[in-house]
Each structure stands twice: as C-alpha cells, then as structure tokens.
Chain A
C-alpha cells in the first residue's frame, strides 16, 4: 500500500462511524469494496499507461480531507446567482463541496414520472431504484479515482425519468468548491437514469472559489434508455489551484442519442474521462471538447467509445488551446467489437499552440474487430496561421486583436455547440476574458 493511501483509510473509518445504523446498507457494502480496492491500487503513477503524461503525484502526496457533510462554507446567494442560468432553466441544483445545498437549489414542480433530487435523499427513500444502477457502470476495480469516489460517495445528483417522460426545460447543476483553506476532497456522485423514449437536457458547471489546493473527484453514471435523447453540457471553471478529476460513464440503450460538450477552462491539473458504451443497436453519440489552458495548467481528456453492438455512430471533436507552459493530453480509445458491424466512428483532435513552451500529447487508439465499419481519426497540432494574421492586419486589425480573433474562432467551433444559450453566453464572456484583447473581439 502506498503510504499516502493510508490517510484515506482513516477517513473512511470516520465516515463509517458517522453512518449510525446505515453501515450495513447495500450502498455501504459497495463503499467498503471500493476503499479496499483503492488501498490496493493506490494513486496511479506515470508508469501506468493510462496516466503516462499526467503526473498525479501532487494529488497523491496531499492528504485531502473528504468532505463528509454539508457546510455552506460562506457561499452567498450572489455567488450562486452569478453562475446560475436564470429563468432559462427549469431547475437549479447546487452542491457545495459535493453535498446538496437545500438553501440554494430550486426546482419548479416536476411532471409525473420525473424524479430529481440529491443522491443522499434517493439513497434513503428510493433504495431499490438506486441500488439497481449505482456503481453498475463504473468499473472502479481498474480505476483508483473511481474507487476513491465510490468509497466516499454520499451525495450528488439523482435523476430518474420514467418511460416516455420529457423534461421540457433544461436542468442546471452547479458544483461549488468553497472553503478558504482548501485541503478538502469533494466527491460528487451523480446517477442519471433515463427510461425508454425520454428526453433530458442537462448542464453542469464546476466552479471553485477556494484559493488553496483542493480536489474535486467526480463520478457520473448515466443510463440512456431506448429511443431517448440526452443533451449534456459541462463547463469546468474550477479555481486555478484546483485538481479536478471527472469520470462520466454513459450507457446507451438502442436507438438513443447523446450529445455532450465538455468545456475545461479552470484547474491546475484536470483529467476528464468520458466512456460511452453502446449497449444495443442503432445509437449515436457526439462528444465535443474544448480545453483552454495557460500558465502551468495541465488538461487531460481521455475518451473511450465502446462499439459493442452494430449500427452505432460516434463523433468526437476535441480542441485545445494551450498558452504559456500549459500541457494538454488527448487519448481517444475506440473499440469496435466483432459483432459491431456498420459502426461509424469518427474522431478529431485539434490543438492550437500559442506559445513555444506549450506541449500536447495526443494519441488515438483504435481497436477494430469488425470488418464492415467506417472509422476515421485525425489529429492536428499547429500555431496560428501567419498568412491569416497578415491578411487581418492588412485590413487594419491590430496584430494582437487578429491573433485573438483567430484563437476565438478556433474555440467557437466547439463553444458554439453548447446547447443552453445563457451557458453559451457565459462561456463566450469567459473566452473573451482569456484573450489578451478580448474586449476588442467582443465589441466587434
């Protein structure tokens, strides 16, 4: 066992003691299994193939304290307002350091067949529904951070849509990391179960106001039923001290459709993992990603698409803009299993390097065991096109403004796909603020 894992075993005992009576629940059995697995695995090192370019030693050597109960940590209504999406969403769920905030969440009346609540509450009152899905899709046996999240899973988002239900308005989930001294680990655990022929639009914002190192270790399990449609946006704007590890597993039943946009702007070390499993025929999944990093930020995007059944289509477009000494990692796995004929899998990764010291490691990884398939992948790494810069300058546009405009154009390709308009506007403002002469670009 790694010595640094020891601390989490002690914390696990503390959690167990706080459970009173619930320590024999089915959920807690999973937690026990997970902490045992975590103590065997420890934190990954760069010798681990999946973590070759992402050194989590700083995370491993910091004894982060799991947040075991809700504390508003000085979060104000103004702060929540600032990041909320106003009236354009049907509901806002706020989590502070991984725990549901009753005081800041609001939900209008829900249609029949729709359950939206905190996972903590669902564990208490909807045990059967929760146990049927929780930890069924994430394989923590092979993943330290997933094991760690599972060991400490207490709260997060719970959505259950019955067959044939549609949530008309988008739902916004705001995860706030707060606490001036940092040093904590938030472990939000989300479970979204969509029945047959259901429809949902979900936006997530991860924001950090803690100005000292902390760890967000999030896991989401999403089940998309037959003929269902899921639109998903994730905006990660944690503080520049944050470590953010996010794992999302999407399990798609037949003829379902998922579009997910993951935008990553914050954090000092960020790992986004998305796994899509096509569990039946005829589904489609579109994953788009945009990372903007500078200074010493590291942003790692790992995707896995498991074409386990025939006639499914996956489209991936991941873009990164790296400035300063920032580092980017992209690893895109596509498995096409022997039965998965007529698979259509496309993957594109594009990186724009704005400085000489920014680095990217990109790796497509296709394993194809069927013969009647279309699989394409492409990766480009480049700088701004000087001919384009000159063309703009020759029309009177200043050099930095020209560079900013071109950088913004590179980003807007993905940023423009964000489903929910106010979130898109927030993102636009953030992108403009990142550009050196963003004001000029914005005013045009």
Chain B
C-alpha cells in the first residue's frame, strides 16, 4: 500500500530525514517511535503533503502512484488521513460544514453521489457514537475553544467520517488522559480492517497498549534505526531510547 524508499526531507533548509525506508501493507498497523527531534512528525507531514517540507531525495509510492506528486487534497481523496498533532482552529467555519465539504470532495473524487444534509446528518450521528463526542461540538467552529482531548477526539471523528485507507496518527496520544486515550484508541480499532492500514506516530508506548501494532519502527536522527514486533515497544518503554542510539553508534542525537 505504502512504500517509502530512501526518503530525505528538509524543513527550512535543514535536512531532517536522512533516508527513511518503510513498507506498509493493507491490514497492518505500524508504530513509528523515537525520541523528540528524530523526525517522526516530519515523516507524517511529508506523507500528508505539508508544503514547507521539501523532499530532497527518495520516493514514496502509495497504491502504485507517486505520492510526492500529489496535492494534499488529492492524497486525502485517495484515502490518506493525517490526524494532526496540533489540530487547527478555524473560527467562522462550523465543524459540520467543514466535514461535509471534505466528505463530499472525497466522495465526488471516488465517483460517489454527494450526500445531502439529511444523509450527512445520519452518518454523523452514527460516527459520533464511535468516539463518544459531544454533539454540541458539531455546530461549533472547528476546534475553536475545544479542550485538548476534544480536539483529538474530533480528529478521530473526522477520520471515521472520511474512512481513509491509510490513517497516520501524529502523536494523537499527547496531552490525553487515560480515559480519552482509551476512547481514541477504541475509535481507531473499530475502523481497522483487512483493507486499510494505520501508522501510529508516538513518543510513548502507552497508546500501543490499546492500538496493538504489527510492527514497531524506531526513528533516530532521521533514519529507521531498528524495526521489530510489538515487543520492541515494551523494550523501549523499559530501557528508553539510548541503547538504540548506542547500538547504531550515534552519540550526537538531538534531544
């Protein structure tokens, strides 16, 4: 589904990713872990098409297409979803309006009929239950005045509405208490199927207790330093990241 080969990317003229290789198949959940500054969020941003991130080398293939040539909206329409680490507030645009605009753009791209207001509301009600979100948030401006937990829940709610093939969760666990974490994880688990894949970017192992990964990759200094099964996450939780840095012999990792 997703194949990343020797990916180099720079932000503001500084190279952050120094050759990332990764392959994700349908039905799989991959966790990308790593210390702060290792390039986890840069990788997520490059995949979603953030324009300030410049790919300097390498290639990314998604469902047989060159992902890097696609505009962010086309990636979304083709089934990529990024749950933002810092969901953006949009004053003046209600959550419902925003979601409907996104969903209908995606449906149109897929050759499906656009949903009318009644059909859309039906879908919304059904998906709201999935993430246990307060319906009152629907008519509020996107993320404006939402608590940290409400914002993250709103991301998963959007994901549930858009039904992506490849979901990338960028530090979705940060700032969540344990109850919210469980709800968010439940939402993600309910959306898992043999046809779609999830990439979970996280600093901590905690979220992986609830979203159990098939593969765990450790990103250090812009490269994947180690890959393994779910046991690797537990090992990292116990021993920290330093032993991996020692293993690959890089003493100068950005803290």
Contacts and interface: CB of A to CB of B under 8 A. Distances in A.
A391 interface: yes
B106 interface: yes
Contacts of B109: 396
A330 to B, nearest CB: 20
Interface in B106-129: 106, 109, 114
Interface string A385-426: 101101111111111011001101110110000000000000
Contact of B90 (A396, A401, A409, A412): A409
B101 interface: yes
A406 B72 contact: no
A444 interface: yes
A292 B49 CA distance: 32
A255 B245 CA distance: 73
Contact of A396 (B93, B114, B162): B162
Contact of A393 (B49, B81, B93): B49
Interface in B71-108: 71-73, 75-77, 81-82, 84, 87-88, 90-93, 97-106
Contacts of A409: 90-93
A399 B101 CA distance: 12
B69 interface: no
Nearest to A441: B101
B69 to A, nearest CB: 15
Contacts of B88: 385, 387-388, 390-391
**B interface: dominant SS:** helix
A396 B92 contact: no
A406 B91 CA distance: 9
Contacts of A443: 104, 114
Interface residues of A, number: 25
Contacts of A396: 73, 76-77, 102-103, 105-106, 109, 162
Given A390-B51, A394-B76, A396-B73, A401 B105 contact: yes
Nearest to B89: A388
A409 B98 CA distance: 11
B191 to A, nearest CB: 16
A368 to B, nearest CB: 30
**A interface: dominant SS:** helix
Contacts of A410: 92
B206 interface: no
Contact of A397 (B92, B101, B114): B101
A393 B73 contact: yes
Contacts of B48: 394
Given A390-B50, A405-B101, A444-B101, A395 B158 contact: yes
Interface string B49-64: 1110000000000000
Contacts of B104: 443-444
A393 B100 contact: no
A397 B73 contact: yes
B115 to A, nearest CB: 11
Interface in A187-244: none
B73 A413 contact: no
Contacts of A394: 48-49, 72-73, 75-76, 81-82, 84
Given A393-B72, A395-B76, A444 B97 contact: yes
Contacts of A401: 101, 105
Contact of B100 (A406, A412, A444): A444
Nearest to A440: B101
Interface in A86-122: none
A391 B97 contact: no
**Which of B87, B92, B104, B114 is packed against the most chain A CB atoms within 10 Å?**
B92
Contacts of B93: 405-406, 409
Contacts of A444: 97, 100-101, 104
A399 B92 CA distance: 18
A34 B93 CA distance: 49
A399 B51 CA distance: 12
**Which of A405, A408, A412, A440 is packed against the most chain B CB atoms within 10 Å?**
A405
A390 B91 CA distance: 15
14 contacts: A391-B84, A391-B87, A392-B98, A394-B72, A394-B81, A394-B84, A395-B102, A396-B77, A396-B109, A397-B98, A397-B102, A398-B105, A399-B73, A409-B90
